[in-house]
């Protein structure tokens, strides 16, 4: 794990997996943390493990030891607390390792979707800057030095091409800089909150954002129910962990319905957290005691749907950007060719 104030999803997955291995091997948590601390080279991570080791040495619970470091999210801390109280800490850590690995994979997919258009904008900006900054001025100087008069319309077209190319290059650079700024801002807590709200309402990302939120809810419910957590408590934690305003409200209403003695499956169906065939399968699974397994399967289906949605979005962006790049460069090149054709005609 690399040193940060907060660990990334991938780092959390690795940590949870290591703790699960320690518990499975029969080594005490104190000895296991000591071994991990000795193997880690990163100073900040070593410091976190040292804090946990000191608290465990003082007979603090593993949950409290992790909480004191301020390096772990509240959802993981709550799950560790439940695992310690139910005697299922190994199961919980295995589940959380899988949960955070899925989250890390999803974030990688999102980063890949963002990275491609950013690269395309960079390419557009560089190509246009070379065309309008080096090549077109060179042709303009050549035309000015020729004794042949270039047609007025061709000259205007060339000047327009230079002007348009400069504008598009500047806009592309601005978009690139703003995009990089937003990515860096997203790494802050405030930036993440604002950009998450924006993605929930922006027409391009609205559907994908909804899928991500529902998938996260179902995944977290699968983990918590399999860990032996009370359904109302699981819904409360799922509500806290979710950042989508509409899904958050749906989960809140779902909690109320469960309090009013409705089954979890019925409450989820009523709030449209699950729909169609999935709703019927969850109802049957709840009656047969297979709810956590079915929720896990549905969560995997959501992963596939989200992956397909992101791939589709990336393909559409790719086609749009390639066409835009081709048209822009084509127009700039035509602004060179028209004056050149006028000169050839005049000479001929």
Q: What is the secondary structure of 152-171 as a DSSP string?
A: HHHHHHHHHHHHHHHHHHHH
**Residue 281 in this model has a pLDDT that exceeds 80:** yes
Kind and range of the H or E run holding 55: helix 43-57
pLDDT, one tens digit per residue, over 297-344 is 887 788 778 777 777 777 777 777 778 777 777 776 676 666 666 666
3 state SS of 40? coil
User: Is the model's pLDDT at 153 over the cut of 60?
Assistant: no
Find out whether 73 and 55 touch, Cβ atoms under 8 Å: no
158 pLDDT band, cuts 50/70/90, is: low
CB-based contact 119:153 (threshold 8 Å): no
Go through 59-89 and write b for each residue having 16 or more CB atoms within 10 A of its CB, e for each that does not: eeebbbbbbebebbeebbebbbbbbbeeebb
- Give me the DSSP letters along 201-216: HSTTTHHHHHHHHHHH
CATH classification code of 101-348: 1.20.81.30
The CA distance from 46 to 43, in Å, is 5
Average pLDDT (76-98) is 82
pTM confidence score: 0.64
Extents of the domains making up the chain? 9-72, 101-348
Element (H, E) at 8: none
- Which of 139-148, 179-188, 250-259, 278-287 comes out lowest in average pLDDT? 139-148
pLDDT band at 21 (very low <50, low <70, confident <90, very high): very high
Question: What pLDDT was estimated at residue 322?
Answer: 74
For the chain, the average pLDDT equals 78
| Residue 279 confidence (pLDDT) above 60 | yes
Instruction: Write down the pLDDT at residue 161.
Output: 64
């Amino acid at each position: 794990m690399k040193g940060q104030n907060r660990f990334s999803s991938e780092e959390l997955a690795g940590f949870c997996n290591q703790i699960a291995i320690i518990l499975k091997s029969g080594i005490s948590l104190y000895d296991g943390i000591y071994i991990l601390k000795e193997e880690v080279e990163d100073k900040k991570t070593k410091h976190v493990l040292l804090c946990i080791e000191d608290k465990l040495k003082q007979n603090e619970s593993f949950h409290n030891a992790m909480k004191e470091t301020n390096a772990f999210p509240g959802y993981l801390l709550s799950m560790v607390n439940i695992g310690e109280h139910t005697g299922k800490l190994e199961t919980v850590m295995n589940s959380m390792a899988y949960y955070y690995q899925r989250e890390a994979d999803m974030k990688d997919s999102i980063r890949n979707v963002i990275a491609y258009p950013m690269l395309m904008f960079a390419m557009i900006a560089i190509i246009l800057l070379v065309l309008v900054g080096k090549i077109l001025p060179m042709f303009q100087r050549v035309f000015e030095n020729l004794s042949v008069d270039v047609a007025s319309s061709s000259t205007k077209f060339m000047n327009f091409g230079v002007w348009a190319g400069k504008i598009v290059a500047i806009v592309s650079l601005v978009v690139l800089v703003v995009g990089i700024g937003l990515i860096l801002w997203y790494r802050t807590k405030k930036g993440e909150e604002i950009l998450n709200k924006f993605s929930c309402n922006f027409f391009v990302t609205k559907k994908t954002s909804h899928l991500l939120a529902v998938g996260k809810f179902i995944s977290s419910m699968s983990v918590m129910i399999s860990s032996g957590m009370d359904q109302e408590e699981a819904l409360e934690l799922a509500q806290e962990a979710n950042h989508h305003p509409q899904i958050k409200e749906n989960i809140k209403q779902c909690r109320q319905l469960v309090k009013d003695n409705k089954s979890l499956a019925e409450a989820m169906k009523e709030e449209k957290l699950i729909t169609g065939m999935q709703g019927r399968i969850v109802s049957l699974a709840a009656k047969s005691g297979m709810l956590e397994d079915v929720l896990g399967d549905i969560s995997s289906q959501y992963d596939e749907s989200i992956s397909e949605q992101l791939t589709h979005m990336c393909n559409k962006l790719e086609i749009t950007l390639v066409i835009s790049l081709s048209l822009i460069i084509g127009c700039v090149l035509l602004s060179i060719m028209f004056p050149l054709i006028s000169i050839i005609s005049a000479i001929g």
